[in-house]
């Protein structure tokens, strides 16, 4: 294992130089069922409509996944790439509005169990698409799972979603506490609120606790109103932003997308790339390697 991680890091170093800037943003929550997948799918579509090239990676092991919500039914997923049965280009599906989707990426959580060859396949697979995207949005599981935490710690930017429910707030804070030392930028989104005041209050509780106890500044990205359109669109297996652009939920998430792209968010001076991301994944999932 030691040699394996060392060799991979050397390989990564040689590839890092040629990478272009890329924003890899993981979406997570403390509690399950707070709206991660709906948020990830619709945010990806909005970023694309705002002119960015977007890859959505489905690493949520929840029930209603990216494919169900966006109405695509892929035959292959990341495990076929790891097994070398498929090339990564064969498992990148065309999603709505021209976004690209990698389905079934929960295999990423099994990194520690992969052989050296598998890891290399995976890294080379991402290498092959490194110029194709500006944004990678990763829909993850709830961050209370150890493997999800490893995945989050590997991302430079993490969006934590919560609802105003006290249990969701407590769990969101718990995730932030687990990741704040490794993640450069943590954003908050409050979903399913009745009005902006409720959202501000919720975001305030988490931000204040994070500042007071962890000395970390969270970036409040915005809120999404409680909206029946979301479940209606889910039943129709179409992203709400595509079919119901004038809905309240669509307007709310559009604001969030614009904020992510246009606002001066004081982004860390880092050189995000698939190679850098991969290096962090390896050191988080295989911590003893190379040391």
Ligand X SMILES: Nc1ncnc2c1ncn2[C@@H]1O[C@H](COP(=O)(O)OP(=O)(O)O)[C@@H](O)[C@H]1O
Binding site for Mg ion (CB under 5 A): 36-37, 60, 62
Minimum CB–partner distance for residue 15 and Mg ion (Å): 32
CB of 41 to Mg ion, least distance (A): 9
Asked if 182 interacts with ligand X (CB under 6 A), we say no
Q: Tell me the closest approach of the beta carbon of residue 45 to ligand X, in angstroms.
A: 14
Q: How far is the CB of 63 from ligand X (least distance, A)?
A: 7
HEC states along the chain?
A: CHHHHHHHHHHHHHHHCCCCCCEEEEEEECCCCCCHHHHHHHHHHHHHHCCCCEEEEEECCCCCCHHHHHCCCCCCCHHHHHCCCCCHHHHCEECHHHCEEECCHHHHHHHHHCCHHHHHHHHHHHHCCCCCCCEEEEEECCCCCHHHHHHHHCCCEEEEEECCCHHHHHHHHHHHHHHCCCCCEEEEEEEEECCHHHHHHHHHHHHHHHHHHHCCCCEEEEEEECCHHHHHHHHHCCCHHHHCCCCHHHHHHHHHHHHHHHCCCCCCCCCCCHHHHHHHHHHHHCCCCCC
Q: Given the complex with ligand X, which of 66 and 123 has the nearer CB atom?
A: 66
Site string for ligand X, 141-180 (x = CB under 6 A): ----------------------------------------
**Contact code string over 215-254 relative to ligand X, x by CB under 6 A:** ---------x-xx--xx--x--------------x-----
Q: Which does 74 bind (CB under 5 to 8 A by kind): ligand X, Mg ion, none?
A: none
Chain positions 56 to 85 lying near ligand X, rule: CB under 6 A, are 60, 62, 64
- Interaction between residue 23 and ligand X (CB under 6 A): no
Q: Binding to ligand X by residue 36, rule CB under 6 A?
A: yes
Interatomic CA distance for residues 27 and 233, integer angstroms: 20
32 binds, among ligand X, Mg ion, none (CB under 5 to 8 A by kind): ligand X
| Residue 4 touches which member of ligand X, Mg ion, none, C-beta under 5-8 Å by kind | none
Nearer to ligand X, 38 or 147 (CB): 38
Binding positions for ligand X, rule: CB under 6 A:
29, 32-38, 60, 62, 64, 191-192, 224, 226-227, 230-231, 234, 249
């Amino acid at each position: 294992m030691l040699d394996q991680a060392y060799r991979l890091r050397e390989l990564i170093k040689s590839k890092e130089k040629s990478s272009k800037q890329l924003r890899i943003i993981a979406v997570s929550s403390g509690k399950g069922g707070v709206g991660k997948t709906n948020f990830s799918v619709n945010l990806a579509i909005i970023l694309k409509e705002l002119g960015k090239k977007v890859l959505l990676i489905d690493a949520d092991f929840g029930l209603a996944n990216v494919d169900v919500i966006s109405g695509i039914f892929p035959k292959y997923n990341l495990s076929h790439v790891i097994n070398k049965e498929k090339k990564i280009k064969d498992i990148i599906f065309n999603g709505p509005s021209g976004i690209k989707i990698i389905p079934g990426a929960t295999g990423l959580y099994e990194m520690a169990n992969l052989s050296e060859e598998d890891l290399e396949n995976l890294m080379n697979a991402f290498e092959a698409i490194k110029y194709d995207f500006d944004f990678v949005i990763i829909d993850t599981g709830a961050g209370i799972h150890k493997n999800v935490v490893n995945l989050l710690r590997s991302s430079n930017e993490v969006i934590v979603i919560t609802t105003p429910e006290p249990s969701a707030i407590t769990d969101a804070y718990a995730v932030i506490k687990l990741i704040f030392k490794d993640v450069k930028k943590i954003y908050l989104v409050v979903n399913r609120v009745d009005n902006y005041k409720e959202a501000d209050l919720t975001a305030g509780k988490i931000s204040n606790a994070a500042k007071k106890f962890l000395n970390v500044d969270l970036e409040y990205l915005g809120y999404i109103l409680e909206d029946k359109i979301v479940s209606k669109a889910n039943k129709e297996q179409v992203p709400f932003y595509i079919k119901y652009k004038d809905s309240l939920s669509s307007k709310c998430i559009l604001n969030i997308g614009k904020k992510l792209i246009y606002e001066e968010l004081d982004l860390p001076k880092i050189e995000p790339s698939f190679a850098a991301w991969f290096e962090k994944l390896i050191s988080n999932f295989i911590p003893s390697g190379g040391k």
